[in-house]
A and B are shown apart, each in its own frame.
Chain A
Amino acid sequence: MKLTIASLALLLALSAGLKPLPASAQTPSSARDSAPIDLTGYWVSYVTENWRYRMVTPAKGEYRRIPASPAALPLINAWDPAADEKAGLQCRSYGAAAIMNVPGRLHITWQDANTLRIDTDAGTQTRRFRFGDALASPKRDNAKAGASWQGESSAQWTKTASNEGGSSLRVVTSNLRAGYLRKNGVPYSEKTTVTEHFDLAPLAGGGQLLLVDIVVDDPVYLNAPYVTSPHFKKEPDGSKWDPTPCSSTW
């Protein structure tokens, strides 16, 4: 029986060694402490896709590659940036459904142990990703007061078992003010939900790439989800951080 006991002991020891339980698995920990990937730091847009829709303001009336619904077309053709500016709505193209595609820099920090904060220098916007149960089910009723350009974002880490750097941050945002998907007035409504995944990839020379998969779902102005995947390069510091206010024309 010595052999059998020894075999079982070996099995248990090896099993324990395969997946050592982190301290976080034994005691509740904050989102910051349990973060499987580190998104903090300064990141710059690397605009290799959708250049014509992001780096310059496209022609009025153009909405190519956006599955706009018939309800959106009158708004697209009525786009009036001067009127937006006059009405104080110059941040319409900087809302959560569009901001990650606006060329600029991100500064990602932990506001507190369960809130990841993203500041953008383009449009000087702030997004707050809240972890935990309080926002586990994002509010669907956007008619109530409090809707904003960046809305309310609930976040969770989606870890893989091996935890070798492939883990992801999932963020669901709603309670948005109606805004523009592009600078030239392609609209999204207050009923929009934005689902994002943040992933990291290595770049040559020790660099890092931040990839953001964005799915915008709007039952009013989109016929189908609008999917984009802008990416960012990590910068060593904030020396190129250049806050600029929202503009309805540029």
Chain B
Amino acid sequence: MGPDAMLIDLVARRTVPVIALGLMMVLLGASRASAQFEFTGSWAPIGTEDVQNDSLPVDYLGLALTEEGRARALAYDESQKSMIDRQCQGWGAAYGVIGPFGLVASAQTDPATNRVVSYTIESWEDWNGLTIWMDGRPRPSQYALHTQEGFTTGRWEGGALAARTTHLKVGGFIRKTGVPLSDQATLDWRFYRHGDVMTVVMIATDPIYLVEPEIISKSFRLSPRPLDYKTPCVPGYEGREPGDGIPHFLPGQNPFADEFIKFYSLPREAVLGYPETLYPEYRKKIRATYVPPPPCKEACGQAGNFVRRREN
């Protein structure tokens, strides 16, 4: 073997394994990446689904509440949010899908490996946002700090981003009108993307306030323009004086208990969130007794953020 041949052999011995290793990493990376979709960006709400109805004070349609959950909800007075110490409290993690805004998602990467460490769905004025840890970190102790946004870990499962939120603080809500979530609640999220539509499914499980999981799916459309909801919350005087008590209703004294029922001729047990009302059998049960509301005369039409069709 001449010097040239020896040199070629030496180079080959040292570089080919490195190239092979590099190719393997590329292939592994490609395999992993192709199971994912681009999650980051601005996702505008579509608004064609009603996930929390009209936001009238007593409207628990589509929920399966325990007696305790119903009692807590009926005791809630929305004036609580006028208290200066609660104005910027936010609404808890679930509000990401029941709130009216879109999602602005960004990725935080490890500068050394470029791997995604976390995704962040940015906050709004009345929401604390959500951080989804993607780096496999363990869930903290059950005794660790519980917060409004909780602790969320995620992973890619096939074509969906799956995440789980725990460590929620007492005082969160599953509906803005005061239906509570306890600190034992778990939120399971799935994010699916089909073209420029992303659908988020949230499955809320709560052994204290929910008889059955609350499942909400909401769709968003990729926005060509960046969305910005970062309006800071600035507390101010809203009629509550220091030393005032916490606004609430005693059992049986919520003055809004019948408002939604009468407005739309709805069955009481449905408005108050009884579990049987979520299944088709209930529809058959009330068929003979349901009296439809009179024809709609005002505010009958669109509500929501629609993407208008382009004019050709």
A131 to chain B, nearest CB (A): 18
Q: Which residues of B contact A104 (CB under 8 A)?
A: 280
| Interface membership of B12, Cβ < 8 A | yes
Interface centre among A58, A223, A224 (most CB of B within 10 A): A224
Contact of B280 among A8, A10, A50, A122 (CB under 8 A): A122
Q: How far is the CA of A231 from the CA of B203 in the complex (A)?
A: 11
Q: Which of A84-92, A137-145, A207-215 lines the interface with chain B?
A: A207-215
Contact B216 A61 (CB under 8 A): no
Contact of B24 among A14, A63, A64 (CB under 8 A): A14
Contact of B20 among A11, A45, A68 (CB under 8 A): A11
Q: Which residues of A contact B194 (CB under 8 A)?
A: 158, 168, 170, 197, 213
Q: Which residues of A contact B20 (CB under 8 A)?
A: 7-8, 10-11
Contact A201 B48 (CB under 8 A): no
Given contacts A162-B32, A211-B199, contact A229 B218 (CB under 8 A): yes
A229 to chain B, nearest CB (A): 4
Given contacts A64-B303, A103-B283, contact A164 B35 (CB under 8 A): yes
Contact A65 B304 (CB under 8 A): yes
Q: Which residues of A contact B278 (CB under 8 A)?
A: 46-48
| Interface membership of A228, Cβ < 8 A | yes
Contact B50 A66 (CB under 8 A): no
Given contacts A3-B16, A160-B34, A229-B199, contact A67 B158 (CB under 8 A): no
Q: How far is the CA of A59 from the CA of B266 in the complex (A)?
A: 11
Contact B160 A166 (CB under 8 A): yes
Which B residue sits closest to A121, measured CB to CB? B280
Q: Which residues of B contact A68 (CB under 8 A)?
A: 301-302
Q: Which residues of A contact B287 (CB under 8 A)?
A: 250
Q: Which of B86-94, B248-256, B290-298 lines the interface with chain A?
A: B290-298
| Interface membership of B9, Cβ < 8 A | yes
Given contacts A168-B159, A250-B287, contact A201 B308 (CB under 8 A): no
| Interface membership of A4, Cβ < 8 A | yes
| Interface membership of A204, Cβ < 8 A | yes
| Interface membership of A113, Cβ < 8 A | no
Contact B192 A199 (CB under 8 A): yes
| Interface membership of A238, Cβ < 8 A | no
Contact of A1 among B12, B284, B286, B296 (CB under 8 A): B12
Q: Which residues of B contact A209 (CB under 8 A)?
A: 201, 203, 215
Q: Which residues of B contact A15 (CB under 8 A)?
A: 23-24, 27
CB proximity to B under 8 Å, residues A177-224? 197, 199, 201, 203-204, 209, 211, 213, 215, 219, 222-224
Contact B16 A163 (CB under 8 A): no
| Interface membership of B70, Cβ < 8 A | no
Q: Which residues of B contact A160 (CB under 8 A)?
A: 34-35, 158-159
Contact B31 A227 (CB under 8 A): no
| Interface membership of A23, Cβ < 8 A | no
Q: How far is the CA of A58 from the CA of B263 in the complex (A)?
A: 12
Contact of A67 among B32, B62, B304 (CB under 8 A): B304
Q: Which residues of A contact B258 (CB under 8 A)?
A: none
| Interface membership of B270, Cβ < 8 A | yes
Q: Which residues of B contact A7 (CB under 8 A)?
A: 16-17, 20
Contact B35 A162 (CB under 8 A): yes
Q: Which residues of B contact A59 (CB under 8 A)?
A: 264, 292-296, 300
Contact of B61 among A3, A51, A105, A211 (CB under 8 A): A51
CB proximity to A under 8 Å, residues B254-292? 264-266, 270, 277-284, 286-287, 290, 292
Contact A203 B295 (CB under 8 A): no
Q: Which residues of B contact A222 (CB under 8 A)?
A: 309
| Interface membership of A62, Cβ < 8 A | yes
| Interface membership of B75, Cβ < 8 A | no
Q: Which residues of A contact B63 (CB under 8 A)?
A: 48
A227 to chain B, nearest CB (A): 5
Contact A3 B17 (CB under 8 A): yes
A244 to chain B, nearest CB (A): 8
Q: How far is the CA of A224 from the CA of B221 in the complex (A)?
A: 12
| Interface membership of A161, Cβ < 8 A | yes
A22 to chain B, nearest CB (A): 15
Q: How far is the CA of A162 from the CA of B35 in the complex (A)?
A: 6
B10 to chain A, nearest CB (A): 11
Contact A161 B27 (CB under 8 A): no
Q: Which residues of B contact A226 (CB under 8 A)?
A: 48
| Interface membership of A44, Cβ < 8 A | yes
18 other A-B residue contacts (CB within 8 Å) besides A46-B279, A51-B53, A160-B159: A1-B9, A4-B16, A44-B279, A51-B50, A61-B300, A64-B302, A65-B47, A162-B32, A163-B158, A170-B194, A203-B203, A211-B190, A222-B309, A224-B306, A227-B46, A229-B49, A229-B217, A242-B280
Q: Which 5 A-B pairs have the closest CB atoms?
A: A166-B158, A166-B159, A162-B35, A161-B34, A62-B296
6 sampled A-B residue pairs with Cβ under 8 A: A14-B24, A48-B215, A51-B61, A51-B270, A204-B203, A242-B280
